[in-house]
């Protein structure tokens, strides 16, 4: 197995024995510390889940204190596609190493990402030989939708469940990106779900974190979290 070249903040499973692994990929110019706190929120309803938020393998070209999964120097789609293809093996090696360390498999894995991290979660998760339990995308998009047919072998029956959440007021990754991604996935025979948060900018709010917890519970085959029941 190739050795992982990335690492970042992590949270052990509160129960003491990890039965699931949630990997959270940060956005452009951030690092793992930016999102690991979401893992703490989710562990309140997923006590058997270990969480890790690796720092991207490249220093950010425009934000020296942060990291990037790939360059965004001119923001054209070809650059995104080349960059995502280059970064994906690094993430794959990391996922393989983390799963092996915990004695888990891809069916116990959820890939989560925000913005550029969401692009990588979708790109990498769809191309894993064994599909992860789920992919959760916040304010992201599907990179290179025109390449889906040639690079993704999953069918509707074998593809990972996908849930995309986006704010209607996102000025960084326009909300139209979510709808275009959902349409491209549907055309490739890959189902997905989406949620539009009205008024939300390029961010993750408390409501989306709750929806994420519900989605992950479902992906892992767990009952509806008692902590979220009304009454």
Question: Which pLDDT score is estimated for 231?
Answer: 41
Q: How far is CA 163 from the centre of its chain?
A: 10
What pTM was estimated for this model as a whole?
A: 0.94
Domain map (residue ranges) of the chain: 10-228
Of 161, 148, 152, residue with least CA distance to 107: 161
Phi, psi (degrees; rounded to nearest 5) at 89: -60, -30
Domain at 10-228: CATH architecture:
3-Layer(aba) Sandwich (3.40)
Going by pLDDT thresholds of 50, 70 and 90, the confidence category of residue 223 is confident
* pLDDT tens column, 137-174: 999 999 999 999 888 888 888 899 999 999 999 999 99
Q: Are 23 and 98 in contact (CB under 8 A)?
A: yes
* pLDDT tens column, 188-200: 999 999 999 999 9
Q: For residue 185, what are its two tokens?
A: 């996935």
């Amino acid at each position: 197995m190739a050795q992982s070249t990335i690492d970042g903040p992590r949270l052990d499973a509160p129960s003491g024995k990890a039965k699931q692994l949630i990997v959270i990929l940060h956005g452009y110019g951030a690092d793992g510390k930016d999102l690991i706190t979401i893992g703490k929120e989710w562990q309140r309803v997923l006590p058997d889940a270990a969480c890790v938020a690796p720092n991207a393998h490249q220093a950010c070209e425009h934000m020296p204190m942060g990291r990037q999964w790939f360059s965004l120097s001119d923001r054209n789609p070809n650059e995104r596609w080349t960059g995502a293809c280059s970064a994906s093996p690094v993430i794959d090696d990391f996922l393989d190493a983390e799963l092996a360390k915990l004695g888990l498999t891809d069916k116990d894995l959820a890939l989560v990402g925000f913005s550029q991290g969401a692009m990588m979660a979708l790109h990498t998760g769809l191309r894993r030989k064994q599909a992860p339990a789920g992919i959760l995308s916040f304010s992201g998009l599907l990179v290179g939708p025109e390449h889906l047919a040639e690079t993704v072998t999953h069918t509707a029956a074998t593809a990972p469940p996908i849930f995309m959440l986006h704010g209607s007021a996102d000025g960084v990754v326009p909300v139209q990106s979510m709808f275009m991604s959902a349409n491209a996935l549907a055309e490739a025979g890959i189902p997905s779900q989406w949620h539009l948060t009205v008024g939300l900018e390029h961010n993750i709010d408390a409501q989306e974190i709750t929806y994420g917890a519900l989605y992950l519970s479902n992906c892992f085959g767990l009952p509806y979290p008692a902590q979220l029941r009304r009454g």
